Amino acid sequence: MKQTHALPPDEALCLIARHFAALADPLRLKIVHTLIDGEKNVSGLVKTTGGLQANVSRHLHKLTAAGVLNRHKQGAQVFYAIADPSIYDLCEQVCGSLEKRLVKQTKAIGAVASRH
């Protein structure tokens, strides 16, 4: 039997959309993936992502405002970390799903190419 799900209230849907929108940028995804290994300061994130400091800082602000990241100051440095560990599962699900789709597409392209 098919299970039905209750539609969340509009306020909850707005929060969910904001959360997903915060992840809808390649540099922000790179930042999140970098932080999976543990917290880092801004200069460490600039170095590992290859972004410009102003750009990385802007994206860190968006991710923090959406509740994806936590931040804390230690002296003059600001450190960022993943706020909700469920982000790991979300990334694994999405990446795993995309990987399966790409493998399937690659096989299909290979089959077409071998016929020509």
What is the per-residue pLDDT for 116?
A: 65
What is the per-residue pLDDT for 18?
A: 85
What is the per-residue pLDDT for 32?
A: 93
What is the per-residue pLDDT for 16?
A: 83
Which two tokens mark 54?
A: 């102003």
User: What's the pTM?
Assistant: 0.75
pLDDT tens for the chain, 116 residues: list them.
567 788 888 998 888 888 888 889 999 999 999 998 899 999 999 999 999 999 999 999 999 998 899 999 999 999 999 998 888 788 778 777 777 887 888 877 777 777 76
Distance CA(32)–CA(70), nearest Å, equals 11
Residue of 69, 80, 63, 70 lying closest to 21 (CA atoms): 63
Residue tagged 């098919």 (tokens)? 2
What is the H or E stretch that residue 83 is in?
A: none
Q: What is the CATH number of domain 10-83?
A: 1.10.10.10
